[in-house]
Amino acid sequence: MTVVATVGTTHPLAFAGLGFAMLALADDGVRPVFVVAGVTAQDANHVLVRTALDAASIRAQFDALRDAEIDAFHVGALVSADVVNAVADGLAGYSDVPVVVDPVFAATGGDALADDATRAALRDRLFPLATIVTPNLDEAGVLLGRVIDDRDAMHEAANALRACGARAVLVKGGHLNDDAVDVLADERGTREFVSPRTHGTLRGTGDLLAVTIAACLARGAHLAEAIEHGRRRVREAIARGVPFAGTRVATFSGQ
């Protein structure tokens, strides 16, 4: 059995967050387990409440996963610096396990999920533990304090963020015009993943890409193969998306 642990924050409608990650992992053929690090109340447009779980409870959940023989971790939205530090402490005990960090700073509607201290803790504590970090253009820009709006800037950003300690960084260019372009920086330098753009909007595409990469790494895939599979899965999800609770969402097997 292949087991992937997803770590993050709840979303009551499962547009994103832990509920979405669990659905996506199960649909990809792995056994999902989870660590709750925070709770939100969100609808299609706003974050109504965000609450961090205490550090002791987060660390205890990591301890409780010991018998599950985790094959990879996915880390999503974390809502305070204390939470980030507790997650980093928990992950430090799994040094041989791939870790995919998706640094989520805001909900799709624009409401903040992470403050400056949280972003700094992500960069300083979690990035050095990451097999790959998967920021979008806005997230990479916030981390670096610059605007990232073309391919050259994406290459520079991927390299700069990798210098924070992650083994690889994938800067996602989904908000650029024309083709869908993502830029990977790893020990071999930078390279682009390019595909024709699939038109349409969908909630949770960043989560879907990150958890799919985690599932592939858990099964022993090479990083480039995992990224290609994740990008293909996102394109298919956009094409098949359906209306739900005021937005457009992915569907999974059995729905």
Phi, psi values for residue 211, rounded to 5°:
-70, -30
pLDDT (tens, 9 = 90+) of the chain, 255 residues, equals 999 999 999 999 999 999 999 999 999 999 999 999 999 999 988 999 999 999 999 999 999 999 999 999 999 999 999 999 999 999 998 989 999 999 988 777 777 788 999 999 999 999 999 999 999 999 999 999 999 999 999 999 999 999 999 999 999 997 677 788 999 999 999 999 999 988 888 999 999 999 999 999 999 999 999 999 999 999 999 999 999 999 999 999 867
Residue 60 lies inside a defined structural domain of this protein: yes
Look up the CATH number of the domain holding residue 195: 3.40.1190.20
Task: Dig out the tokens for 167 from the structure.
Answer: 């083994």
The residue among 12, 25, 55, 21 whose CA lies nearest residue 37 is: 55
pLDDT for residue 171: 98
Q: Is residue 77 part of a domain?
A: yes
Tell whether 25 is covered by a domain: yes
Answer whether residue 253 is part of any domain.
no
pTM: 0.97
pLDDT, residue 123, reads 95
What's the pLDDT score for residue 254? 67
Half-sphere exposure of 113 (CA within 13 A, CB side): 31
Strand arrangement, sheet containing 132-133: 47-52, 31-42, 3-10, 72-75, 99-101, 132-133, 169-172, 180-186, 189-195
With respect to residue 129, please indicate whether it lies within any of the assigned structural domains: yes
**β-pair partners for 230:** none
The label of the residue with tokens 């053929």 reads 29
pLDDT of residue 51: 96
Measuring CA to CA, how many Å separate 145 from each of 97, 139, 155? 31, 10, 15
Tell me the residue range of the domain where 120 lies.
Answer: 3-248
Domain count, the chain: 1
Contact 207, 102 (CB under 8 A): yes
Q: With respect to residue 255, please indicate whether it lies within any of the assigned structural domains.
A: no
Within a domain: residue 254? no
Q: What's the confidence (pLDDT) of residue 253?
A: 81
Structural domain contains residue 209: yes
